Amino acid sequence: MLNSTSLTTEARTRLEEYLLKKGLRRSSERFAILEEVYSRDDHFDAEDLYQAMHHRAFAVSRATVYNTLDVLVDCGLVRKNQFGDEDNTKSRFEKALGRQQHAHLICVNCHRVIEFCDPRLQLIKTTVGDTLQFQVESHSLVFYGECADEACVARTKAAANLQ
């Protein structure tokens, strides 16, 4: 199995090949951002990434963050999600390499994101595509609800009592 280091290496190689193939430049910003993305295991937004780059002492502009995320999504190294939860506008990203496709559970109280897989989703995809003559390319499945995390439950209960 791939560990985190070799994953990053693989990602770097893939990005190089992609840039070469597309005639795009291998700027240091792009590789630095890829590095940061592959060092994390969460679902981050563009601003998180922007801040993280500053803490990394590799300050890039927001424009570059957005531009690079587009590139990384386009070459399959990053997945872009729009969770319709508390903040329906901003996108959240996650690294894509070495991870199987999955769906998300989002706690409407603490906004925790939990990943899960279920083979039946693939079956639905196939059925639907065949039945409706639709070439399904990707999907987004999100469940919204309340998680069982103690701190979250306690906080929610306390908030309910205030009303």
Partner DNA sequence: TTGATTGCAAACCGTTTGCAACGCC
Partner DNA sequence: GGCGTTGCAAACGGTTTGCAATCAA
Q: Which residue in the set 12, 14, 56, 125 belongs to the binding site for a copy of itself (CB under 8 A)?
A: 125
If the CB atoms of residues 70 and 118 are measured against DNA, the closer one turns out to be 70
Q: Which does 5 bind (CB under 5 to 8 A by kind): a copy of itself, DNA, none?
A: none
Stretch that binds a copy of itself, among 20-28, 68-76, 94-102, 134-142 (CB under 8 A): 134-142
Q: Which does 68 bind (CB under 5 to 8 A by kind): DNA, a copy of itself, none?
A: DNA
If the CB atoms of residues 5 and 88 are measured against DNA, the closer one turns out to be 88
Tokens of 138: 């990707």
Cα separations in angstroms, 155 against 49, 80, 84, 87, 162: 28, 30, 22, 20, 11
Cα separations in angstroms, 24 against 15, 80, 157: 10, 21, 53
Nearest-approach distance from CB 86 to DNA, in angstroms: 10
If the CB atoms of residues 8 and 68 are measured against DNA, the closer one turns out to be 68
C-alpha dihedral (120, 80, 15, 17), degrees to nearest 10: 60
Residues 6+ apart with CB under 8 A from 137: none
Closest CA relative to residue 94, chosen from 76, 78, 114 = 78
Residues lying near a copy of itself in the complex (CB under 8 A) are found at: 80-82, 84, 88-89, 91, 105, 107-108, 114, 116, 118, 120-121, 123-125, 127-129, 131-148
